[in-house]
Amino acid sequence: MSQAKPDLQNDLYLRALLRQPTERTPIWMMRQAGRYLPEYRKVRQQAGDFMALCQNPELACEVTLQPLRRFPLDAAILFSDILTIPDAMGLGLYFEAGEGPRFERPVRTLDAIEKLGVPDPEQELGYVMDAVRTIRRELGGKVPLIGFSGSPWTLATYMVEGGSTKNFSVIKKMLFAEPQALHLLLDKLAQSVTSYLNAQIAAGAQAVMIFDTWGGVLSPRDYREFSLAYMDKIVKGLTREADGRTVPVTLFTKNGGAWLPDMAATGCDALGVDWTTNLGDARAAVKGQVALQGNMDPSVLYAPPARIEAEVASILASYGQGTGHVMNLGHGIHPEVDPDHAAAFIEAVHKLSPAYHNE
């Protein structure tokens, strides 16, 4: 069994993503730094608003580290937002109370798309790189740091719709009526995401993840053309080694269970799986090509600890013996969750998972 290198006290997460043997199943939680923690709410209030928190490297570092002080997690994830790239493109990002993100200047014409530039990650997005460097320093090699971005398709939905949407009518109109305009936007976003993630890796991110939150609203044909093709382009353009280590890449399409084999074919190292797909079925579908991350329904964390443990037991049994599994929620932790229930989730994984790694 490979041993942790001296620069990293706990590399279970990185080993699992590369399907190397681990003593137990590693665990982290999407949105593990967030509103369910009272200490996060305090810092958020101190910052003034959400983007001010993201743009302050010291405060972004503080909230990134908060869940690690509370829980024995196996990875830290950069505290940021997927909409940093569109914001850097000059679309005027703001947050409406109770409504989520909004853009003052959505892009809905070929002319507007042609005028968009690809942001320089160390200039327009320098605050993110400063946060990565600060977090890596403060982590002191305790656990790996995950960098991330939204996928081109997911970023485009916000940029074209002007914010959150239920039916995606504006971007789907562009997709079917002006596909060349949408392809130009997605290509610029793929370039932007590639340089953004490579800059995060250069600044110290030890693994990266691409969140395709809205890929699941597309048909199988349109998913491959307008979402997966651009994630494939990004994967092929990423730096895959830094500090003498492989930098694993995880793709996550919410409601994308039917497309896992296609996603695995991109050459990524791991796939996120949400709770609408059985983890055993996902493992069979990818045929050992990639590791899998997931996939507990975040709502299970409302349940008593015994029910949470039963769910963990079910997911571990579904995946089965061997390596290549990172335990996580199937999407972000809900703001109303009791932190003690998150602790019960993590404790159950520590308790039950070693039995699946004793081959």
What are the b/e assignments for 71-101, b being 16+ CB within 10 Å?
bebbbbbbbbbbbbbbbbbebebeeeeeeeb
Residue 13: active-site member: no
The reply, when asked if residue 157 is annotated as ligand binding, is: no
Residue 105: active-site member: no
Which of these is catalytic: 36, 158, 230, 319? 158
Which of these is catalytic: 15, 19, 24, 31? 31
* Strand (E) or helix (H) holding 266: none
Residue 185's contacts (CB-CB under 8 Å, 6 or more residues apart) are 107, 113, 116, 152, 156, 159, 160
Query: Helix (H) and strand (E) counts for the chain?
Result: 16, 11
Which of these is catalytic: 11, 74, 81, 274? 81
User: Cβ–Cβ contacts within 10 Å for residue 307, how many?
Assistant: 14
User: Cβ–Cβ contacts within 10 Å for residue 30, how many?
Assistant: 20
The reply, when asked if residue 196 is annotated as ligand binding, is: no
Give φ, ψ of 135 to 5 degrees.
-65, -45
Give φ, ψ of 328 to 5 degrees.
-160, 175
The reply, when asked if residue 127 is annotated as ligand binding, is: no
Which of these is catalytic: 15, 19, 24, 44? 44
The reply, when asked if residue 137 is annotated as ligand binding, is: no
The reply, when asked if residue 205 is annotated as ligand binding, is: no
The reply, when asked if residue 158 is annotated as ligand binding, is: yes
- Quote the CA–CA distance of 354 and 11 in Å, as a whole number: 16
The reply, when asked if residue 356 is annotated as ligand binding, is: no
Single-letter code of the amino acid located at 68: L
Q: Is the torsion defined by CA of 337, 206, 266, 214 positive or negative?
A: positive
Q: Are 307 and 327 in contact (CB under 8 A)?
A: no
Which strands form 145-150's sheet, in the order they lie side by side?
76-77, 145-150, 207-212, 249-253, 270-272, 291-296, 325-329
Residue 19: active-site member: no
Residue 81: active-site member: yes
The reply, when asked if residue 154 is annotated as ligand binding, is: no
Give φ, ψ of 94 to 5 degrees.
-150, 165
Torsion of CA 259, 265, 267, 268, to 10 degrees: 20
Residue 281: active-site member: no
The reply, when asked if residue 283 is annotated as ligand binding, is: no
Tokens of 225: 């053309």
Extract the annotated binding site: 31-35, 81, 158, 213, 331
Residues catalogued as catalytic: 31, 35, 44, 81, 158
Binding-site members for substrate are 31-35, 81, 158, 213, 331
